[in-house]
C-alpha cells in the first residue's frame, strides 16, 4: 500500500512563505504523476501544482510565479514552496500520487493565511 504524509502547514501572515512536504512510503520516481491539490469547505478540490516523472511542472494560474514544486528522490519527498502567500491561498493542501492508475492521497495539511 502506498502512503503519502503531508506536513508543514500552519498559520502565516500575508506575504510570508511556507514549505509543505509530502513523504511517500515508496520511491517517488515510481509514481506516474504527483501533484498538490487544495480544497476549502464547500468547494471542489483543485489542482495547485503538478510534477511529472519527466518534463516541466504545471501550476494553477493563481499560483504561477509564487509556488514551486520540487522533489528529493533520496528522501522520497515532494515539496511545495509557497512564497508571497495571500488570503486566497488558505485551504487544506493534499498530496496526490498515481501508481498504475491507482489514486493515492495524503491526509492533508492546513494552511491558513491571515491579514
Check whether 1 has a pLDDT greater than 80: no
Residue 101 pLDDT level (bands cut at 50, 70, 90): confident
Residue 100 pLDDT level (bands cut at 50, 70, 90): confident
Name the average pLDDT for the chain: 95
Q: What is the dihedral of CA 26, 5, 54, 19, to 10 degrees?
A: -140
pLDDT digits (tens, 9 = 90+) for 18-45: 999 999 998 888 898 999 999 999 999 9
DSSP structure string for 68-87: EEEEEGGGTEEEEEE-S--G
Beta bridge partners of 46: 38
Amino acid at each position: 500500500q502506498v502512503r503519502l504524509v503531508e506536513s508543514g502547514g500552519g498559520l502565516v501572515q500575508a506575504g510570508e512563505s511556507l514549505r509543505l512536504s509530502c513523504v511517500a512510503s515508496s520511491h517517488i520516481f515510481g509514481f506516474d504523476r504527483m501533484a498538490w491539490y487544495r480544497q476549502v469547505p464547500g468547494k471542489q478540490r483543485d489542482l495547485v501544482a503538478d510534477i511529472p516523472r519527466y518534463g516541466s511542472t504545471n501550476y494553477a494560474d493563481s499560483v504561477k510565479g509564487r509556488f514551486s514544486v520540487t522533489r528529493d528522490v533520496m528522501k522520497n519527498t515532494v515539496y511545495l514552496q509557497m512564497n508571497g502567500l495571500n488570503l486566497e491561498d488558505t485551504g487544506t493542501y493534499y498530496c496526490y500520487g498515481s501508481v498504475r492508475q491507482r489514486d493515492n492521497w495524503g491526509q492533508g495539511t492546513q494552511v491558513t493565511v491571515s491579514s
